[in-house]
Structure 1
Amino acid sequence: MANEQHAFLQSSKLPAREQWQLAITQAGFDLQLNPALQPRTVVGYVPCQLNGDDSGVEMHFENAADFMNSYRHLVGSRDCCITFRWGGSMRECACAMIASFALAESFDAVVSYEGEAPPASLQEFRADVERAVRDAAKEKKRKPAATATPLKTSTPPQGKPWWRFW
């Protein structure tokens, strides 16, 4: 089952990738967002570098009224959202946590894990992010898929067609 975390923002405060990256760096985290990331149009998996290792997280930009209205009790007048999705990987979780923390700290985002109330304070949120980063560091790195060895091809013995069994 996928996990979801929403970062609700005013569209006027939604940063460009470079501003977002700067906020992450200034917050003291080693997460590098993909240089091709475009926050206003992102839909899908975004490769990242977490503490120098390959990782990433799904990100989806959303500004549909029905989606935003379903969270109105949490977000007030904010009119857009970046949703982060990940599976069981703590590395992907850490990417989502760091990226959403930077949005909260520098761009006034309200962050909600699966519709729950936002963290009580930025200090509490930072502590959760730091825990996720520590847990991600303990997670075993995935090994690249083994290189498949080519199948050995054989040719039927000469003199007798392959379809004759007698």
Structure 2
Amino acid sequence: MARALTAYLFRADVPARAALQTALDGLKLKLVLDDGYLPLVSSGYLPCTLDGEDAGFTIRFREADTDLSKFPALAAAIAGRDVAVDVKWSGDVREQVSAMGVCAALAGSFGALVHDPEKDELRDSGKLLGRAKAGLEEL
């Protein structure tokens, strides 16, 4: 699986930290976002705590691309979502679990389309949560 995904949201649906944390709590991953998360502003490494240990991933907000000709699956489903949230992680399992958890929360609670640009595939919240839980089992 790629080590980068992009979540597409409507600008009005980009969650504040408290709302995103509530969605994460509902996933039961024991994942806590750093207080430094700022919707539409955060850029760079976002620290998290995963079951009491340091974790995190790289996040970047940007305007969604308008030319999606390279991504027909995304183009067919994007439906006007205008904000892209790029999420990247290293080979560290804690980073992967953190990134997958946040993407699962965005998809499940805020209507995000989560896209794997390497394969032009959309990932639903259930699949993302499954990957996060599989990563937890590796720890």
TM-score class normalised by the smaller sequence: 0.7 to 0.9
Deviation at 1:68, TM superposition (A): 4.6
TM-score normalised according to structure 2 size: 0.85
Other structure's SS at 1:125 match: helix
Ranges in structure 2 where 5+ consecutive residues have no aligned partner? none
2:128 corresponds to which residue?
Answer: 125
Say whether the 8 Å CA contact 1:45–1:57 is kept in structure 2.
Answer: yes
More strand as a share of residues: 2
Deviation at 1:28, TM superposition (A): 1.5
Say whether the 8 Å CA contact 1:59–1:82 is kept in structure 2.
Answer: yes
TM-score normalised according to structure 1 size: 0.72
2:99 corresponds to which residue?
Answer: 96
Task: State which of 106, 112, 115 in structure 2 corresponds to 1:109.
Answer: 112
Distance in 1, matches of 2:126 and 2:87, equals 21
Task: State which of 67, 70, 77 in structure 2 corresponds to 1:69.
Answer: 67
Whichever of the two has the greater Rg, that structure is 1
Higher relative contact order (CA 8 A, sep 6+): 2
Structure 1 residues 50, 76: CA separation in 2 closer, same or farther (over 3 Å shift)? same
- Percent identity between matched residues is 27
Letter in 2 for 1:75: I
Say whether the 8 Å CA contact 2:3–2:88 is kept in structure 1.
Answer: yes
Other structure's SS at 1:58 match: strand
Ranges in structure 1 where 5+ consecutive residues have no aligned partner? 138-166
Q: CA RMSD of the aligned region, Å? A: 1.8
Whether 1:51 aligns to 2:51 is: yes
Distance in 1, matches of 2:22 and 2:113, equals 19
Other structure's SS at 1:60 match: strand
After alignment, is 92-101 or 74-83 more displaced? 74-83
Aligned length: 132
Say whether the 8 Å CA contact 1:97–1:132 is kept in structure 2.
Answer: no
Output one character per residue of 1:37-82: Cα deviation in whole Å (capped at 9) or x when no partner: 1021111001110111001110000115xx3533551523111011
